[in-house]
Amino acid sequence: MYKSLIVPLMLVLAATASYAKDDFPPVSHDGLHLMPDTQLRAVYMKPGADLSQYDKIALLDAYVAFKKNWKREHNEEESFEMRVSDKDMKEIRERVAKEFNKEFTKVLSTEGGHEIVKDAADGVLILRPAIVNLDVTAPDIMTAGMSETVVASAGSMTLYLELYDGKTQAIIARIIDPEAADNVGIAQVANRVTNTADFDRVLRRWAEILNKHLAQLKK
C-alpha cells in the first residue's frame, strides 16, 4: 500500500516547507478538493464524503523520511563522535513512528472513544500516516562523554496523512501540515527525552485536531 505514496511524497518533500495554503491546487491529482478555513496547511476531501459513518479506525504504521540531505548537513557541522550514521537514522525513524502510533492511539482511542482495529472492513476508517521532511536539530545518538547541546528548537516535520474507506479502499481525504517543534525561542538542553517530548506535542496536536473533527461529525 505504501508504493502509491512515492510520487506524492516526493512532491511534498521537495516543496511543502515553502508552501502557503494558496499554493496548493484547488483539486488534487486524484480528484480531492481543497477545503477552506482549516487548522492545517492543506486538507483535501472527496466531494460528498461522510466521515461520520465510520465507528472504527485502523491506524497503519507511520512511514518516516528525513529532510533531503539532513545527514550530510548535520555531519558537516559536528565533530566526528557526534556524527550520525545510517543506523542512527534508522533508530530515529523507528522512534518517531512508534511515538506517532502511541500519541494517535491515545487521543483517538482513550480520549476520543474510537475503537482501534487491525483489519479493513465496512465502517472502518483507515489512516495511512507519513512523517516527511523530518529535521532533528540535535539528535541524541547516545555517544560517550558529558557533552550537552543547547537548542531553541527540537526540529520540524511534516504530516502527510491519507484517509481511506475500509470497505472500498478508496481515498477519502488527504492532510498535509508542516510543523515545528519549538520552544518559542527558549533555549534548552537537547537530548532523547526532550526531543521526544517536543515532537510528541506536535503529534498530539495533529491527533487532537482529527479527533475533534470526527467528534463534531458524530454530533
Q: Are 159 and 177 in contact (CB under 8 A)?
A: yes
pLDDT tens for 142-154 read 554 444 544 345 6
CB atoms within 10 A of CB 53: 12
pLDDT of residue 189: 44
Domain boundaries, the chain: 2-218
- The per-residue pLDDT for range 74-125, each reduced to its tens digit, is 899 877 777 899 999 999 999 999 999 999 999 999 999 999 999 999 999 9
Average per-residue pLDDT for the chain: 83
- Cβ contact 107:175 at 8 Å: no
- Using CA atoms, how far residue 122 sits from 31, 57, 70, in Å, is 23, 11, 41
Asked if pLDDT for residue 207 goes beyond 60, the answer is: yes
% of the chain residues with pLDDT over 70: 77
List the grid coordinates of 55: 465507528
Overall pTM surpassing 0.85 (yes/no): no
Q: Give the pLDDT band (50/70/90) at residue 175.
A: very high
Q: What top-level class would CATH report for the domain 2-218? A: alpha beta
